[in-house]
């Protein structure tokens, strides 16, 4: 069986700065896979390249058996790959509901969209209560929920989340992490990028450790959590 997402020898540069230096990894259908690594490791660059927002210098990206590394970003979304970007990037002047509906831009099935909107509201009750309010007035955690909700509105086969826990209180972070587990149980495949290695590895089936543009370690989430080097470098233990 081929993986849902396959990244092969990916190299991405910003001018002369090589940010991703030939990484290969895959995501199987139904899995939660995480890329962990410190600031500057190349995690965001990798997700933006998979989404079609950046073009690789070298390498290949395959999604459901088709090569997508030259496909425009909007078409990548249409094919079933959604991206909740780092720093949320919601539209502050638009209402919660309009922000969410933007996530469904490529869909025409009105009934399905209405159903998914309810599903997002069930998951994040606070968004339902504030559906008519401009999103710019929200706290960081609420904006993060909105960004995840918006990505879900495309009804993705693969959901990519870039640092969903960034800037959140421990309580909010737990809420986001349990939402990821819930989505997984509904059959959504997830590629999770996190600096918070503890949280990400705790729920991931499989993980890759990224250091300055290269994958230095890969294993099941459980194994990486107990790996001595990972504990020292990423979990603040000595």
Ligand X SMILES: Nc1ncnc2c1ncn2[C@@H]1O[C@H](COP(=O)(O)OP(=O)(O)O)[C@@H](O)[C@H]1O
Residue whose C-alpha is closest to residue 191's, from 2, 91, 87, 48: 48
Cross-strand bridge partners of residue 13: 18
**Least distance between ligand X and beta carbon 232 (Å):** 19
Indicate the residue among 42 and 221 with the shorter CB distance to Mg ion.
42
**Least distance between ligand X and beta carbon 99 (Å):** 23
Whose structure tokens read 């509906």?
101
**Least distance between ligand X and beta carbon 66 (Å):** 25
Indicate the residue among 1 and 17 with the shorter CB distance to ligand X.
17
Counting contacts by CB under 5 A, is residue 51 touching Mg ion? no
**Least distance between Mg ion and beta carbon 21 (Å):** 16
Indicate the residue among 17 and 171 with the shorter CB distance to ligand X.
17
173 alpha-carbon distance from chain centroid = 15
Handedness of CA 214, 83, 175, 25 (dihedral sign): negative
Counting contacts by CB under 5 A, is residue 44 touching Mg ion? yes
Between CA 101 and CA 87 the distance in angstroms is 19
Between CA 184 and CA 38 the distance in angstroms is 25
Residue whose C-alpha is closest to residue 192's, from 174, 175, 177: 177
Query: Total residues contacting Mg ion (rule CB under 5 A)?
Result: 3
Q: Which residues bind ligand X (CB under 6 A)?
A: 14, 17, 19, 37, 39-45
Indicate the residue among 166 and 222 with the shorter CB distance to Mg ion.
166
**Least distance between Mg ion and beta carbon 161 (Å):** 11
Choose the binding region for Mg ion from 2-10, 28-36, 52-60, 86-94 (rule: CB under 5 A). 86-94
Do residues 83 and 51 make contact, with C-beta atoms less than 8 angstroms apart? yes
Choose the binding region for Mg ion from 17-25, 43-51, 204-212, 229-237 (rule: CB under 5 A). 43-51
Q: 175-185 burial by CB neighbour count: b if 16+ within 10 A, else e? A: bbbebbeebbe
Footprint of Mg ion (CB under 5 A): 43-44, 86
């Amino acid at each position: 069986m081929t993986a849902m997402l396959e990244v092969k020898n990916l190299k991405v540069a910003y001018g002369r700065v090589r940010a991703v230096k030939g990484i290969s990894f895959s995501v199987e259908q139904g899995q939660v896979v995480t890329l962990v690594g410190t600031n500057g490791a190349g995690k965001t660059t990798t997700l933006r390249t998979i989404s079609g927002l950046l073009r690789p210098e070298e390498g290949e990206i395959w999604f459901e058996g088709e090569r997508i590394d030259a496909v425009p970003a909007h078409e990548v979304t249409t094919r079933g790959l959604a991206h909740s970007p780092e720093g949320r990037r919601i539209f502050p002047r638009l209402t919660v509901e309009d922000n969410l509906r933007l996530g469904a831009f490529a869909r025409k099935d009105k009934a399905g969209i209405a159903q998914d909107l309810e599903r997002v509201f069930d998951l994040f009750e606070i968004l339902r209560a504030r559906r008519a309010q401009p999103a710019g007035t929200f706290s960081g955690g609420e904006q993060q929920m909105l960004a995840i909700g918006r990505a879900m509105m495309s009804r993705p086969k693969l959901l990519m989340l870039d640092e969903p826990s960034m800037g959140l209180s421990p309580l909010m972070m737990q809420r986001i992490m349990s939402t990821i587990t819930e989505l997984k149980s509904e059959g959504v495949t997830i590629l999770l990028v996190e600096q918070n290695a503890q949280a990400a590895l705790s729920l991931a089936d499989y993980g890759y450790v990224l250091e300055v543009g290269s994958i230095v370690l890969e294993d099941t989430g459980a194994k990486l959590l107990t790996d001595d080097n990972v504990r020292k470098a990423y979990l603040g233990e000595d």
